[in-house]
Amino acid sequence: MTTTESSKGIELLKTIDRVLIREKTGAYTNNKYVVLTSEGTVLLYAKEDSGLLNRMLVGKSRSFEIDVFDTSDLEVMKLRRPYSVGADKMDVSVCGLPAAVVRKEVTFLKPVLLINDSADRPVVRVKGPVSISAECNFELYTSDKKRIGDISKRWSGMSRAPAGDRDSFAIRFPLELDVRYKAAIIATCFLIVSI
């Protein structure tokens, strides 16, 4: 997708302050996600691309690419997590242009993810709870430590079917936040799954 093309999904993302993400997957398949507005309207679809051996042998630390499409089947975001021995990171592109870098910060207690701009300067800090459980909250802060929103991780339960809904997320962020960083916050949920 070129930057001159209009995307309904990105344009709508600019006008909202809440989204929901539902993970859908089956046994030994690539993860799939649906991004919805708070009213339940489908905004974006996402599909992971990683090999079966990569998923089975490396598990949560695997490398992957996630392609994100709007409801018109235009690719609006690309997320790339390369395999690395050091600190974990994911590159986020929006409409074909570099938008952000999401990095896991090495900490002893609470998981912390940093959302940096395309030049790798801090923009948003995502702080998790001491214990990552089935249901927990991650708080969003600006680089000057002002709280601006949260990501609530929800779990669908033990009785879920293999091809059914899995973990889901509810995200609140400022309405006026740049759409590149809204996209990066959505992308951050895909890394939270691997914490």
Q: What is the percent of the chain where pLDDT is above 90? A: 55
Q: 3-state SS string over 19-79?
A: EEEEEECCCCCCCEEEEEECCCCEEEEEEEECCHHHHHHHHHHCCEEEEEEECCCCEEEEE
pLDDT in tens, 120-163: 999 999 999 987 777 889 999 999 999 999 999 887 554 444 44
pTM: 0.84
Q: Where are the domains of the chain?
A: 8-96+151-192
